[in-house]
Amino acid sequence: MTRKVFTKLLGLFLLLLVFQAVAVQLILRRFMENLPPERLHQIDREALWAGLLALVFALPLAAWVASGVTSRLQRVVDFSRHIAQGEFSVRLNPQGGDELSAMETALNQTAERLDSNFAEIESRRHELATMLDSMQEAVVAVTAEGQVRWSNAVMQRIAGTEIRVGRPLVHSVRDPELLACIRGAIQSGEVRFGRSASLAPGKMLEINAAPLPSGGALAVLHDVTRIEAAEKSRREFIANVSHELRTPLTSIQGYVETLIEDPKPSPETTREFLSIIQKNASRMSRLTEDLLALAGVESPDYKLAVQPMRASALVQDAIESLGGIVVDSGVDLESAGAPDTCVVADADAMNQVFGNLIENAVKYGKSGKKIIVGARDAEGCVEFWVQDFGPGIASDHQERIFERFYRVDKARSRESGGTGLGLAIVKHIVAAQGGRIWVETELGAGATFHFTLPLAARPGSNSATPQLSGQA
């Protein structure tokens, strides 16, 4: 392009030179009209030679001036090309004080402004992308035609496939609920809500699709699986508590009404009814105590007064303090021995754990006539156990017995005053001390409940005693 400018400049210069020569010749002719023709010819020849000589000198000069202008223009053209390609860091080098250098300065300023604006837009875009990717919610934006404008990392993970920008969302996500919410938001121009259980297996997602000013929609998917589970467990808990309280309460009410309505009840009947009322009242009292205990161990504020204790001392204490319950039921309580290894434990909490386990062993396994309590060193912990030789627990109940209110034989357990909360409380206490609990059992051969406690740090060792508080 600049070659054309160069040729034009040079042509113009030559044209000017020719015009100037012709004009000079014509003027001279006017003044030399009276000269003889030979003299005129001679002057013409000399003028021609002078013109040719001037042309020889002027041509390179004109070429040099023209090439100076065109090379500066060429630099402006290159500069514009870089800017058009998005390279805003290029700059011109204005020289001299002519109009061309003023234009170069103005172009440099424009490029600088573009550079800084573009850098700001880029950094904002990165910030937004990082923010969206660090969100726990899945986010996807689509155009009015349903094509993906962008999506964050969580959305890609939930969809389980790459969600490509520019492609219809329906190609990557087939969840009808999500698509319906987005379509609804685009068509109505209003926020649409929904829930999807099929988009991510095992997850319940709450969908919130809002229309975008550009005509598309933005969908935010919030994982409410845990909230749902907590809500379900809360509902079940309330139902269980109500049910557990209603049974003894109905019984108390019935017997009290009978006594009131009977004008002359016999002393035997009165005693019998009152003893039933007392049994049900103490059952309700037991239930409220257990509920309070469970609320205590499940609370985030639950604190244990842990200290290093010998495993042998813990087993010994359990046998001594719980021997009374066992003697009354005609079962032998034996120690299988325990090492002197130090564990981190809370003495009162341990009493509660052994109390629940031994009480269960007596209640459900007394047919075995013997209960063994023991402990042994294990990998990084000490393992304690309470073993009975009763009927044992069927495999399908083994995991569930640690759940709140779960009882294998509801009627029998209730008959023996059980609320189904004992093992749930024990599980929390053991976990709060840094251990775990499980059962090994065989139908007809008894049940052994095992739990672990972490080792206490040896004097001089760097390993700190773990922080033991709150729930598991």
Ligand X SMILES: Nc1ncnc2c1ncn2[C@@H]1O[C@H](COP(=O)(O)OP(=O)(O)OP(=O)(O)O)[C@@H](O)[C@H]1O
Residue ranges in contact with ligand X by CB under 6 A: 290, 356, 360-361, 364-365, 388, 390, 393, 401, 406-409, 413, 418-424, 447
Burial class of residue 329 in the structure, from the number of CB atoms within 10 Å of its CB (0-12 exposed, 13-18 middle, 19+ buried)? middle
Tell me: does residue 365 bind Mg ion (CB under 5 A).
no
Residue with smaller CB distance to ligand X, 72 or 427: 427
- Which of Mg ion, ligand X, none has residue 421 at its interface (CB below 5 to 8 Å by kind)? ligand X
- We find the least distance from the C-beta atom of residue 182 to ligand X, in angstroms, to be 48
Which residue number places its CB atom closest to ligand X? 422
Strands 370-378 and 307-310, sheet pairing: unpaired
State whether residue 204 is helix, strand or coil.
Answer: coil
Cα distances from 131 to residues 122, 161, 341, in angstroms, run 14, 21, 51
- We find the least distance from the C-beta atom of residue 376 to ligand X, in angstroms, to be 20
The C-alpha atoms of residue 449 and residue 455 are separated, in whole angstroms, by 20
Helices (H) and strands (E) in the chain, counts: 12, 12
Q: Which of 394, 385, 470, 381 is nearest to 431 (CA)?
A: 470
**Residues 411-430 as x/- pattern, contact with Mg ion by CB under 5 A:** -----------x--------
- Inter-axis angle of helices 347-365 and 422-432, nearest 10: 150
Of 151, 196, 360, 441, the one binding Mg ion (CB under 5 A) is 360
Residue with smaller CB distance to ligand X, 259 or 431: 431
- We find the least distance from the C-beta atom of residue 368 to ligand X, in angstroms, to be 9
- We find the least distance from the C-beta atom of residue 408 to ligand X, in angstroms, to be 3
Residue with smaller CB distance to Mg ion, 352 or 471: 352
Residue with smaller CB distance to Mg ion, 152 or 360: 360
Residue with smaller CB distance to ligand X, 180 or 408: 408
Distance of CA 107 to the CA centre of its chain: 47
455: DSSP letter: B
- We find the least distance from the C-beta atom of residue 333 to ligand X, in angstroms, to be 13
Residue with smaller CB distance to ligand X, 101 or 471: 471
Residue with smaller CB distance to Mg ion, 355 or 470: 355
Q: Determine the interface stretch with Mg ion among 306-314, 354-362, 431-439, 455-463 (rule: CB under 5 A).
A: 354-362
Burial class of residue 404 in the structure, from the number of CB atoms within 10 Å of its CB (0-12 exposed, 13-18 middle, 19+ buried)? buried
Which residue number places its CB atom closest to Mg ion? 422
- We find the least distance from the C-beta atom of residue 414 to ligand X, in angstroms, to be 8
Q: Determine the interface stretch with Mg ion among 3-11, 109-117, 360-368, 404-412 (rule: CB under 5 A).
A: 360-368
The C-alpha atoms of residue 402 and residue 422 are separated, in whole angstroms, by 8
Tokens in use for 335?
């120690």
Q: Determine the interface stretch with Mg ion among 7-15, 79-87, 224-232, 357-365 (rule: CB under 5 A).
A: 357-365
Tokens in use for 472?
């598991």
Residue with smaller CB distance to ligand X, 186 or 424: 424
Q: Which of 326, 310, 416 is nearest to 368 (CA)?
A: 326
469: DSSP letter: B
The C-alpha atoms of residue 296 and residue 235 are separated, in whole angstroms, by 19
With contact defined as beta carbons under 8 Å apart, do 451 and 398 qualify? Answer: no
- We find the least distance from the C-beta atom of residue 325 to Mg ion, in angstroms, to be 12
- Which of ligand X, Mg ion, none has residue 319 at its interface (CB below 5 to 8 Å by kind)? none
- We find the least distance from the C-beta atom of residue 315 to ligand X, in angstroms, to be 18
Residue with smaller CB distance to ligand X, 208 or 329: 329
CB atoms within 10 A of CB 334: 14
- Which of Mg ion, ligand X, none has residue 172 at its interface (CB below 5 to 8 Å by kind)? none
Q: Which residue has the tokens 């987005």?
A: 182
DSSP for 216-264, please give it. -EEEEEEE-HHHHHHHHHHHHHHHHHHHHHHHHHHHHHHHHHHHHH-SS
- We find the least distance from the C-beta atom of residue 422 to Mg ion, in angstroms, to be 3
**Binding positions for Mg ion, rule: CB under 5 A:** 360, 422
